[in-house]
Amino acid sequence: ETLDKGLEKSNTSFFNKLSKAVAGKSKVDDEVLDNLEEVLVTSDVGVNTTLKVIERIEARVAKDKYLGTDELNKILREEIAGLLSETNSGEETEYTIPADKKPYVLMVVGVNGVGKTTTIGKLAYQFKKKGLKVVLGAADTFRAAAIDQLQVWADRVDVPMIKQKMGSDPASVAFDALQSGVNQDADVIIIDTAGRLHNKVNLMNELTKVKRVMQKVVGDAPHDVLLVLDGSTGQNAFEQAKQFTAATEVTSLAVTKLDGTAKGGVVIGISDQFQIPVKYIGVGEGIEDLQVFNKYEFVDSFFK
Ligand code: GDP
């Protein structure tokens, strides 16, 4: 299973750390809870979510008077699945878009380097593979490289891409892309935007303007605002989530680079703290290395 392979390293690390945290202990006591807290924090679950999990486990210890460390895995698993359930229904296994939204407009936000372009390319590939007509819009106009790299993916996947020259108005590119998408009878239009975190007000203004201008073409666009975060960057990912959610309404997350990292806990912490579902996870650089996030598979692989 690719997910197992992709998350292997992070699972091993989490599992190893967890095993060490309870080594030589038969019951969950304050020391085990302290160790567990450290395991969660160093796995990048985030302080708030870690405290929430610890409190819930403490409550169970208090209720049952005794909790064996052999049961801790099971209980921790239930608590983490419970947290993920607040935002992720977990049934998703496929790349789907609602049939009643045509064209479906997906606006993608995130800072440079997190894997935004790669994620857009992989998504375009997945949607095209399902027989959907895809159009890309290169509205991250700040760096020429961002436009060029997206073009590489557009060519590779063989989907049309709408662009203007570097430095042009992102909203204008988004407008063109939507108009072109509508003219071509596209099913999905993916708009790449804002690759930099300048100041918060600028970011907010830019994204608000892109949305407003898109709505001149497709009244209820965007249907999804996908924030791409690098899962290997821990606290940076939390910080970026904070900035982007303050600047615009983010409706879903893609967490990349979960292959070869011990930081899979970011998925748990960020979806909990921001109450936004994780929709996709990136598990490699290849075109197939994007998966629809499934909370059951995720939790399973985390505790293997
Ligand atoms: P952008 O600047 O956010 O558009 O980032 P890119 O899409 O250009 O990706 C930056 C680097 O991260 C590239 O070398 C990608 O191949 C790599 N990358 C993207 N997603 C993943 C992933 O899920 N796993 C790994 N290992 N690398 C990734």
| Phi, psi dihedrals of residue 224, rounded to the nearest 5° | -150, 135
Among 3-12, 132-141, 227-236, name the one with the lowest average pLDDT.
3-12
Check the annotation: does 253 bind a ligand: no
Q: Which residue has the higher pLDDT, 231 or 90?
A: 231
Q: Is the CB of 114 under 6 A from ligand 1?
A: yes
Say if residue 194 carries a ligand binding annotation: yes
Q: How confident is the model at residue 1 (pLDDT cuts 50, 70, 90)?
A: very low
Ligand 1 centroid distance, CA of 148 (Å): 15
CA of 257 relative to ligand 1 center, distance in Å: 7
Using an 8 Å Cβ cutoff, are 135 and 162 in contact? yes
- How far apart, in Å, are the Cα atoms of 167 and each of 143, 194, 200? 7, 12, 19
Task: Determine whether the shortest distance from the Cβ of 185 to ligand 1 is under 6 A.
Answer: no
Do 295 and 81 meet the contact criterion of CB atoms below 8 Å apart?
Answer: yes
Percentage, residues of the chain above pLDDT 70: 93
Ligand 1 mean position, distance from CA 284 (Å): 8
Kind of pairing, strands 278-282 and 290-292? antiparallel
Q: How far apart are CA 127 and CA 220, in angstroms?
A: 21
Q: 109, 228 in Cβ contact below 8 A?
A: yes
Residue 287 pLDDT class (50, 70, 90 cuts): very high
Residue 67 C-alpha to ligand 1 middle, in angstroms?
A: 43
pLDDT of residue 292: 94
Strands, sheet with 161-162, edge to edge from the N-terminal-most edge strand: 161-162, 134-138, 188-192, 104-109, 224-230, 252-256, 278-282, 290-292
Q: How far is the CA of 115 from the centre of ligand 1 (A)?
A: 4
Checking if the pLDDT of 229 tops 80, the result is: yes
Residue 113 labelled as part of a binding site = yes
User: Does 5 score more than 80 pLDDT?
Assistant: no
**255 alpha carbon to ligand 1 midpoint, in Å?**
11
Residue 199: the pLDDT is 73
> What's the whole-number average pLDDT of the chain?
91
A 10 A CB-CB count for 164 gives 17
Atom of ligand 1 nearest to the CA of 283: 23
Q: Which of 124, 213, 231 is nearest to 176 (CA)?
A: 213
Q: Check whether 95 has a pLDDT greater than 70.
A: yes
118 lines ligand 1 (CB under 6 A): yes
Residue 263's pLDDT is what?
A: 62
E runs forming strands in the chain: 104-109, 134-138, 161-162, 188-192, 224-230, 252-256, 278-282, 290-292
**According to the model, what pLDDT value does residue 18 have?**
87
Helices (H) and strands (E) in the chain, counts: 11, 8
Mutate which of 3, 8, 117, 118 to test ligand 1's pocket (most atoms within 8 Å of Cβ)? 118
Q: 261-280 burial string, b = 16+ CB within 10 Å, else e?
A: bbbbbbbbbbbbbbebbbbb
Summarised one tens digit per residue, pLDDT across range 29-45 is 999 999 999 999 988 89
Would you say residue 217 has pLDDT above 50? yes
pLDDT-derived band at 11 (thresholds 50, 70, 90) equals very low
Q: What's the confidence (pLDDT) of residue 297?
A: 87
The answer to whether 131 is a known ligand-binding residue is no
Q: In angstroms, rounded to a whole number, what is the distance separating the alpha carbons of residues 166 and 146? A: 9
Whole-angstrom distance, CA of residue 252 vs CA of residue 119:
13
Fill in the amino acid letter for 65.
K
Ligand 1 centroid–CA 288 distance in Å is: 13
pLDDT band at 176 (very low <50, low <70, confident <90, very high): very high
Residue whose CB lies within 8 A of the most ligand 1 atoms, among 149, 228, 278, 285, for a mutation test: 285
Residue 6 has pLDDT above 80, yes or no: no
Determine whether the shortest distance from the Cβ of 87 to ligand 1 is under 6 A: no
Instruction: Name which of 18-22, 26-30, 117-121, 270-274 the model is least confident about.
Output: 18-22
Mean pLDDT of 173-193: 98
Per residue in 111-149, pLDDT (tens digit) is 999 999 999 999 999 999 999 999 999 999 988 899 999
Mean pLDDT check: name the lowest of 18-22, 116-120, 243-247, 268-272: 18-22
47 known ligand binder: no
Q: Which comes out higher in pLDDT, residue 267 or 5?
A: 267
- Give this prediction's pTM: 0.93
Task: Give mean pLDDT, residues 269-284.
Answer: 95
The band of 202, judged by pLDDT with boundaries at 50, 70 and 90, is: confident
Residue 114 CA: nearest ligand 1 atom is 3
Q: What residue type is assigned to position 170 of the chain?
A: P
pLDDT at 165: 94
